[in-house]
Amino acid sequence: MKKLSTLVIAVSLSFAAAAQSSLPPVDQSPMDMSYYPANYPVLKIQDKIMEPLVARVIYSRPKKEGRTIFGGLVEYGKVWRLGANEATEIEFYRKVNIGGKKVSKGRYNKETDTWGSFKYNAEKDIIRTNVLVEKLNDPVESLAMTFEKGGGGINLVIAWENVKVTLPINL
């Protein structure tokens, strides 16, 4: 019986080592997801939902890593991707209004399996709007996106390096 246990442990360890060697390395820009209301999936399984699901954004979080982001890595006046790696996706679970334009319920970035902004096509934009840029005193190392309650709806808050922008989303 002792020999069988030793054999089972040895085989298990060899399977674990084989499985680990085939896994990809951890990405430099990990993927993240933000909901409104915040932590919606956890609230849902705990039966603690107080308001309906409105939006979700899925994105990869590039890091500053000592670089100058705005005016350096991200050139002023040029299109840049919001995030890293695959295209950022935003999904609305109801009709919303952004910058005076109606946006239907649905998932937006129609070309989700793309990398970067190399094939950006302005004709595929759903909306374009201006947002105020706020200067931050404390730098943000990794790009961050979150939703918060705002006047007439919610805001998508985006921060990186020493910059924060707020996109109002009216319900």
Q: Write the DSSP string, 4-17.
A: HHHHHHHHHHHHHH
Check pLDDT > 80 for residue 107: yes
3 state DSSP class of 69: coil
- Cα–Cα separations (whole angstroms), residue 46 to 54, 75, 83, 138, 147: 18, 44, 31, 35, 21
What value does the mean pLDDT take over residues 103-112?
A: 86
Q: 156 or 15, which is more confident?
A: 156
Check pLDDT > 50 for residue 14: no
* 19 contacts: CB under 8 Å, gap ≥ 6: none
- Report the run of H or E that residue 157 belongs to, with start and end: strand 153-170
Check pLDDT > 60 for residue 13: no
111 burial (CB, 10 Å; 0-12 / 13-18 / 19+) is exposed
| Cβ–Cβ < 8 Å for 171, 153 | yes
pLDDT band at 168 (very low <50, low <70, confident <90, very high): very high
Asked which of 9-23, 90-104, 132-146 is least confident by mean pLDDT, the reply is 9-23
Give per-residue pLDDT as tens, 133-163.
999 999 999 999 999 999 889 999 999 999 9
User: Which pair of structure tokens corresponds to residue 158?
Assistant: 């985006």
Check pLDDT > 80 for residue 37: yes
Q: Is the pTM of this model over 0.85?
A: no
Q: Quote the CA–CA distance of 54 and 98 in Å, as a whole number.
A: 13
What value does the mean pLDDT take over residues 90-106?
A: 97
* 128 contacts: CB under 8 Å, gap ≥ 6: 99
Question: What pLDDT is attached to residue 7?
Answer: 45
pLDDT band at 1 (very low <50, low <70, confident <90, very high): low
What value does the mean pLDDT take over residues 98-118?
A: 86
User: Which pair of structure tokens corresponds to residue 112?
Assistant: 């989700």
User: Which pair of structure tokens corresponds to residue 28?
Assistant: 């430099």
